[in-house]
Amino acid sequence: MEYIHKSVLLDEAIEQLNIKPDGIYVDATTGGGGHSKKILERLTTGHLYCFDQDDYAFLRSKPVLDSVSNNYTFVKANFKDLKAKLNELGVYHIDGIIYDLGVSSFQLDIPERGFSYNYDAPLDMRMNQDAPLTARKIVNEYSFDEIMKIIYRYGEDSNAKLIARGIERERKIKPIETTFDLVDVIKKSLPAKVLNKKGHPAKQTFQALRIAVNDELRVFEVSILDALDMLNSNGRAVVITFHSLEDRICKTIFKEKTTQENIPGLPVMLDDKLEFELVTKHPIIPTDAELEYNNRAHSAKMRVIRKK
């Protein structure tokens, strides 16, 4: 079966990267290779470093990229190790980087990966298939308090306590092994008024577990700070987020890098002394035309920062 990957905000992201033909660029989340392909098409003597921790991403993107050029290098690693891995390759400065955060289309569409509440599969949710922690382990072995905090913090779900109690109750009877097992527990845990609301009742819990399994928020913060440190003058970082937690981290870091806190008694630093500037004052969102053919783009936001 062919799993289709649709890159979100593709044209907008490539435009905002402001690619130099001889530049050094990084796709921190290669996935199906959509953004990488467009970057390669604009490079002549430049080079692209493609990061992903998912073996399947490389399998999918290689023929896509090979059809354009060989001016790229795959790096199988979590993007939290971006700086160290690039340094190992003799790269200390870059001209641009793109992050397309969240889960890839093919990860959602391959049932056995366990990311989706629409398919019955083992509770997995690992982006790196070699990692030890799975969603099944969290659901069956973590304490009630730990599960509740994960669902509340990462899923922003006001019903986290009810769902965590339901999980705790169910696993005493039998282990929660599959995605549909978990969906059933969630549905049994929630009152009718919640179940009757628009949207799938398991969406926020699945998001929360995926973030926890892959430690997504912490690794993004580590990675983007390293990436900004590596940018050349006039280099850009483009970040596409899909939920408020990622966007909040990105917005906060970009604000810290582009504004100066005024401390009483000390001289005010002028804007031209700041190392970075915001390219986008407000996030770029998908057009109506994109939303028509790619429903998964509906929550996407793109922010861009430039090193002066």
127 and 169 inside one domain: yes
* Residue 198 domain boundaries: 114-214
80 and 222 inside one domain: yes
Which pTM was predicted? 0.87
pLDDT at residue 1 above 50? no
206 and 119 inside one domain: yes
162 and 131 inside one domain: yes
**Residue by residue, what is the 3-state secondary structure of the chain?**
CCCCCCCCCHHHHHHHHCCCCCCEEEECCCCCCHHHHHHHHCCCCCEEEEEECCHHHHHHHHHHHHCCCCCEEEEECCHHHHHHHHHHCCCCCEEEEEEECCCCHHHHHCHHHCCCCCCCCECCCCCCCCCCCCHHHHHHHCCHHHHHHHHHHHHCCCCHHHHHHHHHHHHHHCCCCEHHHHHHHHHHHCCHHHHCCCCCCCHHHHHHHHHHHHCHHHHHHHHHHHHHHHEEEEEEEEEEECCHHHHHHHHHHHHHHHCCCCCCCCCCCCHHHCCEEECCCCCECCCHHHHHHCHHHCCCEEEEEEEC
Give the domain-ending residue among 214, 245, 262: 214
Residue 2 lies in a domain: no
Q: How many domains does the chain have?
A: 2
pLDDT at residue 135 above 90? yes
Residue 221 lies in a domain: yes
Q: What is the mean pLDDT of the chain?
A: 91
Each residue of 56-101: pLDDT tens digit? 888 889 999 999 999 999 999 999 999 999 999 999 999 999 999 9
Mean pLDDT of the region 130-150: 96
Mean pLDDT of the region 102-123: 76
Express as a percent the part of the chain with pLDDT over 70: 91
Q: What is the pLDDT of residue 3?
A: 45
Residue 141 lies in a domain: yes
Express as a percent the part of the chain with pLDDT over 90: 77
Q: What is the pLDDT of residue 2?
A: 43
Q: What is the CATH number of the domain that holds 82?
A: 3.40.50.150
